[in-house]
A = this chain, B = another copy of it.
């Protein structure tokens, strides 16, 4: 039971979206509760993708969905006076997410033995620019955008195996969201859970999934590298 490909979720698993969005929001709007703003923005993400999946909205990138969610949120937080340029620039904060402190070294170590790719609902340009921003190196960026479906659609998980002409069991999904891993497992992938207790901020700690549900359970990506490379 050893994968050849590791497919990484990005938002929360590799990148600290909450801290990054909250820091930039606080800088731009010092008077709002920036941590709550970041959580509220992110809370619209899954419902928006679900509307696309149900066909209520046309296919669109996460950049477009983020922007669609941002405008009413700015009004709610008393920031309706922001210009178009300010909104467009702030929407790109998702291209500038900082990585968790262990991500760069963990991924570099894992790349010595495994092909490491993203498998994210973020669009290609977002993922490429975020990796450059955070100094991460991927073997390639795979995105819902390339498969025409958001996770958890089977085309995403099975698409990785198809592109690499391997079995689903040769691919391990790496994520901090149990629902992502459950869907991956349903389609035959291996799974590695990464604890990210601060995903939603220090004032909203997350309870980690129990270790038993997944093939690997790691405290962070350096710990995952330790577990996976110690096995060989």
Residues of A within 8 A of B (CB): 63, 115, 117, 123-125, 127-129, 131-132, 137-141, 145-146, 163-165
Which of B117, B124, B165 makes the CB contact (< 8 A) with A164?
A: B124
Q: Which of B123, B132, B140, B146 contacts A115 (CB 8 A)?
A: B132
Q: A132-B115, A163-B145 are in contact. Are A124 and B137 (CB under 8 A)?
A: no
- Kindly list chain B residues whose C-beta atoms are within 8 Å of the C-beta of A138: 140
| 6 A-B pairs with least C-beta separation | A140-B141, A124-B163, A125-B164, A128-B139, A140-B140, A128-B140
The answer to whether B139 and A115 touch across the interface, beta carbons within 8 angstroms, is no
Output the least CB separation between A155 and chain B (Å).
13
Assembly CA distance A127 to B140 (angstroms) = 9
Residue among A132, A140, A165 with most chain B CB within 10 A: A140
Chain B hits for A128, CB < 8 A? 115, 117, 139-140, 164
Instruction: Please measure, in the bound complex, the distance between the C-alpha atom of A138 and the C-alpha atom of B82, giving whole angstroms.
Output: 36
CA distance A140 to B128 in the complex (A): 7
Q: Which residues of B contact A131 (CB under 8 A)?
A: 139
20 residue pairs bridging A and B, Cβ less than 8 Å apart: A115-B128, A115-B129, A115-B132, A117-B128, A123-B163, A124-B140, A124-B163, A125-B163, A125-B164, A125-B165, A127-B140, A128-B139, A128-B164, A131-B139, A132-B139, A137-B137, A139-B141, A140-B141, A141-B141, A146-B146
Closest to A64 in B: B165
CA A141 to CA B164, docked complex, whole Å:
13
Nearest B residue to A131 by beta-carbon distance?
A: B139
Assuming the contacts A115-B132, A128-B115, A132-B115, asked whether A63 and B139 have C-beta atoms less than 8 A apart, the reply is no
